[in-house]
Amino acid sequence: VVERFPTTDVANGFFDAARFEADLIDCEVIGRVPAEITGTFYRLGGDWLYPPRFADDSPFNADGYISMFRIMDGSVDYKGRFVHTERYRAQRATRRQRFGRYRNPRGDDPDTGVINRTVANTTPFVFEGKLFALKEDSLPLLIDPDTLETLGEWDFGGTYTSPTFTAHPKIDPVSGEMICMGYEAAGEASNAVHVYGIGPEGRVNWRIDLTMPYVSMLHDFAITPNHIILPVYGLVTGRERLEAGEVHWGWDGRLPSHMAIIPRGGTSTNVRWFTGPPCAMVHVLNAVEQDGHIILDALVSDGNPFPFFPAVDGSRWCPQAALTTMRRLCFDLRGDDGMWTEEVLFPDAPGTLGRIDDRFASLPYRYAFMAYADPTRPYDMERAGPAPALFSNSYACFDLRERTMRSFFAGSAGALQECCFVPRHARAPEGDGFLIGVYSDFAERRSELLILDAQQPDAGPLARVVMPFRLSSQVHGVWAPGARARL
Ligand code: V55
Ligand code: FE
pLDDT digits (tens, 9 = 90+) for 103-129: 999 999 999 999 999 999 999 999 999
In short, whether 475's Cβ falls inside 6 Å of ligand 1 is yes
Q: Rounded to the nearest whole angstrom, what is the distance from the C-alpha of residue 93 to the centroid of ligand 2? A: 30
pLDDT at 184 over 60: yes
In short, whether 249's Cβ falls inside 6 Å of ligand 1 is no
- pLDDT at site 2: 55
In short, whether 138's Cβ falls inside 6 Å of ligand 1 is no
Closest listed ligand to the CA of 217: 1
Q: Cα(330)–Cα(213) distance, rounded to whole angstroms? A: 21
Measuring from atom 4 of ligand 1, which residue has the nearest CA?
A: 60
Measuring from atom 7 of ligand 1, which residue has the nearest CA?
A: 219
Q: Cα(118)–Cα(104) distance, rounded to whole angstroms? A: 10
Q: How far apart are the first and last CA of the chain?
A: 38
Measuring from atom 10 of ligand 1, which residue has the nearest CA?
A: 60
**From start to end of 304-413, where are the E strands?**
324-332, 341-344, 354-355, 367-372, 394-399, 404-409
pLDDT band at 253 (very low <50, low <70, confident <90, very high): very high
Radius of gyration (C-alpha) of the chain in whole angstroms: 21
Q: Cα(5)–Cα(132) distance, rounded to whole angstroms? A: 29
Who's near 351: CB < 8 A, 6+ residues apart?
299, 324, 326, 370, 371, 372, 373, 392
Q: Facing residues of 330 across strands?
A: 295, 341
Measuring from atom 1 of ligand 1, which residue has the nearest CA?
A: 219
Q: Which atom of ligand 1 is nearest to the CA of 121?
A: 9
Q: Rounded to the nearest whole angstrom, what is the distance from the C-alpha of residue 2 to the centroid of ligand 2? A: 34
Q: Which atom of ligand 1 is nearest to the CA of 122?
A: 9
Q: Cα(170)–Cα(251) distance, rounded to whole angstroms? A: 27
Q: Which of 157, 197, 162 is CA-nearest to residue 177?
A: 197
Q: Does this model's pTM top 0.85?
A: yes
Q: Rounded to the nearest whole angstrom, what is the distance from the C-alpha of residue 383 to the centroid of ligand 2? A: 30
Q: Which of 115, 107, 99 is CA-nearest to residue 62?
A: 99
> What does the pLDDT look like over 401-438, one tens digit per residue?
999 999 999 999 999 999 999 999 999 999 999 999 99
> What does the pLDDT look like over 221-243, one tens digit per residue?
999 999 999 999 999 999 999 99
In short, whether 219's Cβ falls inside 6 Å of ligand 1 is yes
Summarize the confidence of residues 361-366 as an average pLDDT: 98
In short, whether 121's Cβ falls inside 6 Å of ligand 1 is yes
Q: Which of 338, 336, 303 is CA-nearest to residue 320?
A: 303
Q: Rounded to the nearest whole angstrom, what is the distance from the C-alpha of residue 334 to the centroid of ligand 2? A: 31
pLDDT at 75 over 80: yes
- pLDDT at site 123: 98
Q: Cα(325)–Cα(344) distance, rounded to whole angstroms? A: 7
pLDDT band at 139 (very low <50, low <70, confident <90, very high): very high
Q: Cα(447)–Cα(415) distance, rounded to whole angstroms? A: 10
The angle subtended at Cα 395 by Cα 59 and Cα 384, nearest 5°, is: 60
pLDDT at 3 over 90: no
Residues 235/300, Cβ–Cβ less than 8 Å: no
Most informative mutation of 122, 235, 417 for ligand 1 (most atoms within 8 A of CB) = 122
In short, whether 122's Cβ falls inside 6 Å of ligand 1 is yes
Q: In 58-138, which ranges are continuous DSSP H helix?
A: 86-94
- pLDDT at site 174: 97
Summarize the confidence of residues 205-217 as an average pLDDT: 98
Q: Cα(193)–Cα(111) distance, rounded to whole angstroms? A: 30
Q: Rounded to the nearest whole angstrom, what is the distance from the C-alpha of residue 282 to the centroid of ligand 2? A: 7
pLDDT at 1 over 70: no
Return phi, psi of residue 17, to 5°. -55, 140
H or E stretch at 295:
strand 293-301
pLDDT band at 6 (very low <50, low <70, confident <90, very high): confident
- pLDDT at site 99: 98
Summarize the confidence of residues 162-170 as an average pLDDT: 98
CB atoms within 10 A of CB 147: 12
Closest listed ligand to the CA of 475: 1
Q: Cα(224)–Cα(379) distance, rounded to whole angstroms? A: 40
Q: Rounded to the nearest whole angstrom, what is the distance from the C-alpha of residue 476 to the centroid of ligand 1? A: 10
Report the SS3 class of residue 384: helix
pLDDT at 376 over 60: yes
- pLDDT at site 93: 97
In short, whether 282's Cβ falls inside 6 Å of ligand 1 is yes
In short, whether 296's Cβ falls inside 6 Å of ligand 1 is no
> What does the pLDDT look like over 327-336, one tens digit per residue?
999 999 999 8
In short, whether 237's Cβ falls inside 6 Å of ligand 1 is no
H or E stretch at 319:
helix 319-322
pLDDT band at 283 (very low <50, low <70, confident <90, very high): very high
The secondary structure of residue 4, as a DSSP letter, is P
